[in-house]
Structure formats: C-alpha cells, structure tokens
Amino acid sequence: MEHIVANLLQDFERGKLTRRHMLQCLAMAGAAASCFAQTTEQSAPSAAAPAPHAGGKGFQAISIDHVSYLVEDYHKTADFYADLLGLKPYNDTGRAVNLLLGDDDTYMVIRNATANTPRVDHVCYKIAKWDTAAVEAELKGRGLTLRPVSDNPQSFMVKDINGYGLQISGEGFLPTAATQPAKPAPDAAKSKGFQAVSIEHVSYLVEDYRKTADFYADLLGLTPYHDTGAAIDLLLADKNSYLKIGNAPANTPSCDHIAFKIAKWDTSAVEDELKRRNLAPQAVSDNPQSFMVKDVNGYGLQISGRGAVPATAPARKK
C-alpha cells in the first residue's frame, strides 16, 4: 500500500496525474492493483473516454486557429458575419466559405449542413513545434481515432471526450491574401459594424465539466483558472484566448457560444449597433465590455472588448 501511495504522489508531483485522479486512486485503496494500473496510464479508460497516453506530454495550444460551423445556408450566414464583424471571405467552394479575422491568423469556416449535424462541427487549435509523426503517435497513444485533413498536411481531426470535433494543427491553412472579390460598399446610411480581431473564447456545455477540462488541459497544455464549481476557464498559451467549459442542463447544444474580440470597444456604440440590427443584446455579468446575442441561425454569439482573460492565470480551485 505504501508503495502504491508513493507512486501516486510521485506521478502527481511530476504532472503525470491530475489531483482528481490521484484522489480517486487513493479512495480505491482496497483495489491496489487496479489503482496502480490507473496510475501508470494516467487515468483509467472507459467506454466513453479514451485514456491519456502513458508517458505522453501532450501539446501546447498557442491559439484558436479556426471554428467550423455547419448551417442551412452558408451564404446567408457568411454575409451575416462578414457584415457584422468585418470578416474577409475567401476560398468560396460553392458549398463552403472561409472568413478571415482582422488578425490574419484566425478564421471561420461556414459550410452547408446535412441533416442532424452539430451546430459547431469542430474547433481547431494551433499547437507549437509541429512534428507530423510525433503528433500522430501521441494522438494514437491516447486512444484517439484520427484522420488526416485533406487540404492541410499539418493537421489531424479527432473527437474529444464528448464526441465533439477537435482539430490539431501546425501552420494552419490561411491565405496570404483574401482571394474573394470585395463586396459592394455598404449603404452609407447604415453603420459599418465592427472589426473582429480574434476569437476570444469557445464555450462548451457538457455532462461533466471537470472530466472535459482534464482532457483539454492534459492534451493541449491549457492552464485552468476561475473554477466556479459548475464551470471552468482554460487559458491558451497566447493568454488572449481561452476555452470555457460548464455543466450542461438538459437538451442544451454542445457548443453554447463563440466569443469574438473586436477593436475600438465603445459600450454605448456597440449596444446601439446591435440593437439597430435587431439582435437584442444582453449584458454579460462578469464582463462589462461584452454583449451576448444570437446569430442568424440562433447560435450563441458574444461580442467583447477587453475580455475576461486574466493577466496571470491563478491556480485551479481545489
């Protein structure tokens, strides 16, 4: 028993085992052999969730590369986002289009959907130090079924612990310049909308937020902070974007909303513009520089200024 406890503490101190998993193993003292097996694998596999790779260090997500929507009418949705957030369309295939954000390093993919598809098809994270063979080995070692992405050799698609689409990329697939012809100038009588400079955060609603947070923190090297007991934020390496994960009530969508950070925030002007567009803005309780609306498809859309990202991420609540 003492040997098992020593191994658990050693793995915990080296970062190979989360506090939650360590406590679970200690609670199973009567099943020492099973507990030891969990320790060497970092966490016990289940029917619904693959185990982390034994000894694998995961990756370091440095930014959100893109978000992919599946919608009924991609043209209508693309026009909505391009007009509201100043996004630049490119690579229109006749079934899908990409929309480049103002930072020229992040984009949206909007595609026509088949029946019974999720609202958000996947979220793509850009990682540091891409090595195709090493990334493939790490994902397979974690029991994740992966597939290559046809238009990007530095990318793999997998499913996360909840079955949501998750893409891991290196350089990504961004144009050197937007190839889509410019749209006609907007009516001078209308406001010009905003300029989105980045995707600030993605918000998931899940059955077990801690289990999901552990998955993403371990796989992508995210730093947990602001754990409320019902939700948690996970900071990316750029310290400008984060993943929000909360427990879901019944019949909620898999992805609650996407938040975009805009340039030149002015609370009154932003609120007036959203109201002029009949988007019924709702204030966000923990961020005075933010409003929540619904997009043209009824999906959650948050418009933010400074955002709610901490300068230094505090330790996770115990």
Kindly report, residue by residue over 65-107, the tens digit of the pLDDT.
Answer: 999 999 999 999 999 999 999 999 999 999 999 999 987 789 9
Dihedral sign, CA of 39, 124, 249, 111? negative
Domain of 268 in residue numbering reads as 196-304
Do 235 and 140 belong to one domain?
Answer: no
Do 164 and 209 belong to one domain?
Answer: no
Least confident window among 5-19, 100-114, 132-146, 155-169: 5-19
Range 292-298 average pLDDT: 94
Do 201 and 133 belong to one domain?
Answer: no
Do 209 and 290 belong to one domain?
Answer: yes
The CATH number assigned to the domain holding 202 equals 3.10.180.10
Cβ atoms of residues 139 and 41 within 8 Å: no
Q: Is residue 53 part of a domain?
A: no
> In this model, does residue 17 exceed pLDDT 60?
no
Q: Is residue 17 part of a domain?
A: yes
Of 198, 299, 204, 303, nearest to 244 (Cα)?
Answer: 204
Q: Is residue 317 part of a domain?
A: no
Q: At 46, is the pLDDT very low, low, confident or very high (cuts 50, 70, 90)?
A: very low
Q: Is residue 240 part of a domain?
A: yes
Q: At 309, is the pLDDT very low, low, confident or very high (cuts 50, 70, 90)?
A: low
pLDDT of 306: 74
pLDDT of 244: 94
Q: Is residue 45 part of a domain?
A: no
CA distance 155 to 164: 17
Do 299 and 217 belong to one domain?
Answer: yes
Query: pLDDT by residue (tens digit) across 114-148?
Result: 876 668 999 999 999 999 999 999 999 999 999 99
Query: pLDDT by residue (tens digit) across 180-231?
Result: 444 444 443 455 799 999 999 999 999 999 999 999 999 999 999 889 999 9
Q: At 312, is the pLDDT very low, low, confident or very high (cuts 50, 70, 90)?
A: very low
Do 158 and 95 belong to one domain?
Answer: yes
Do 246 and 296 belong to one domain?
Answer: yes
Do 14 and 66 belong to one domain?
Answer: no
Query: pLDDT by residue (tens digit) across 48-60?
Result: 334 444 446 799 9
130 token code pair: 């891409």
Do 239 and 150 belong to one domain?
Answer: no
Do 211 and 161 belong to one domain?
Answer: no
**How does DSSP classify residue 231?**
E
Q: Is residue 48 part of a domain?
A: no
Do 68 and 124 belong to one domain?
Answer: yes
Better pLDDT: 32 or 124: 124
Do 210 and 138 belong to one domain?
Answer: no
Q: Is residue 183 part of a domain?
A: no
Number of Cβ atoms within 10 Å of the Cβ of 107: 27
Q: Work out how many domains the chain is built from and give that number.
A: 3
What are the backbone dihedrals phi and psi of residue 166, each rounded to the nearest 5 degrees, phi first?
-140, 120
Q: Is residue 279 part of a domain?
A: yes
Confidence (pTM): 0.75
